[in-house]
Amino acid sequence: MALSVKITQWEKEYLGRGSLSCKCELIRDMALITLAGVLTPAEYQMAESISGRDQIKKFRNDLVESGRKQLEEMVHEVFGLKLISLHTDISTKTGERLIVLKFNKQWDQTDND
């Protein structure tokens, strides 16, 4: 899927490191993106403490939020839609990140032909 490719490219260019895999599911007016293998070995070690987990989650989520403009541009380029909201979390146990992108209307009801 084009969005998965763009998200992977964005991770590498903007965050400096890509995930091992990126899967995107489209559901009504949302995209559910699952990224596997996003934590570094040092972050896994840091995640062994509660304060370390909190720091990793906050920092990684802040990084994604700081790239919102690029994500908005990707959504518009791929679907011709506006990004309404962005939700993200990361598992410090599995190293998996979930991103939910909410669009202004259903992805399959665009005039983007």
CATH number at residue 16: 3.30.70
**Residue 17: inside a domain, yes or no?**
yes
**Residue 48: inside a domain, yes or no?**
yes
pLDDT for position 103: 96
Q: Taking 50 as the threshold, does the pLDDT of residue 18 lie above it? A: yes
**Residue 79: inside a domain, yes or no?**
yes
Please report, rounded to a whole number, the percentage of residues in the chain having pLDDT higher than 70: 96
Sign of the alpha-carbon dihedral angle for 54, 56, 57, 62: positive
Give the structural domain span for 63: 2-103
Q: How many domains does the chain have?
A: 1
**Residue 111: inside a domain, yes or no?**
no
